[in-house]
Amino acid sequence: MHPLGPSASSVVATRILGLDPGLRITGFGVIDKLGSQLRYVASGTIKTRDGALPGRLKTLLDGVREVVTTYQPDQAAVEIVFVNVNPQSTLLLGQARGAVICGAVSCEVPMSEYTALQIKQAVVGYGKARKEQVQHMVQRLLCLDQLPGPDAADALACAICHANSATDGAGLPAHGRRRAGRRLASI
């Protein structure tokens, strides 16, 4: 858990990592949740180069581990892969998703999964929203100065969806709690 603000010594936030898996580009977004407030921490992408699949998957695994090491999330959320018309594309995306999940859970970060419909519903209020609508709502909800890129926006939307999927008194799913007393010196 992470403190927010200079006088927040007894108030802690939960840090959430959102992941939008892709074999070429995987988006990540990190937010802090304190009560009903969400605060942007960071976002970006992990990109793989063309080449053999095992090397690309290792790039994703290592990239997620680096993000986890850098931002120390308490929980993570990932988008569930949809089945599309091309079975080969679906298989490759599933493998990328597996590498992304393994990157987080190998660092002992609890993982939750959400469908694209759930994520869009939570962020835009409409499960079939376009990418641009998701980007604009993420910008608005996190008070960002500029529009996040599409992959980072999808990852941030996944984190927002998780933050708003509260089932326990602290505002997060009970199965995802860990490291209760941990604090980070700077955010």
Helix-, strand-, coil-residue percentages of the chain, each rounded to 5: 40, 20, 40
How high is the pLDDT of residue 12?
Answer: 81
Per-residue confidence in pLDDT tens, the chain, 187 aa: 555 555 445 568 999 999 999 999 999 999 999 988 999 999 999 999 999 999 999 999 999 999 999 999 999 999 987 777 888 888 999 999 999 999 999 999 999 999 999 999 999 988 888 989 999 999 999 999 999 999 999 999 999 999 998 544 334 443 333 333 333 333 2
Spatial distance between the Cα atoms of 60 and 57, rounded to a whole number of angstroms: 5
Q: Is residue 174 part of a domain?
A: no
Compute the distance between CA of residue 75 and CA of residue 155 in angstroms, rounded to an integer. 13
Query: What pLDDT does 1 receive?
Result: 58
Q: Which domain holds residue 11?
A: 2-167
Decide if 173 is inside a domain.
Answer: no
Amino acid 172: pLDDT: 41
The amino acid that residue 148 corresponds to is: P
Given this model, what pLDDT does residue 166 score? 58
Q: Is residue 186 part of a domain?
A: no
Report yes or no on 154 lying in a domain.
yes
CATH code: domain of residue 72: 3.30.420.10
Look at the chain and report how many structural domains it folds into: 1
Residue 84 lies in a domain: yes
Residue 184 lies in a domain: no
Q: Could you tell me where the beta strands, DSSP code E, fall in 56-182?
A: 75-79, 111-114
Query: Looking at the domain assignment, is residue 143 inside a domain?
Result: yes
Whole-number pLDDT of residue 126: 87
Catalytic residues: 20, 79, 151
CA angle 165, 12, 170 (to 5 degrees): 35
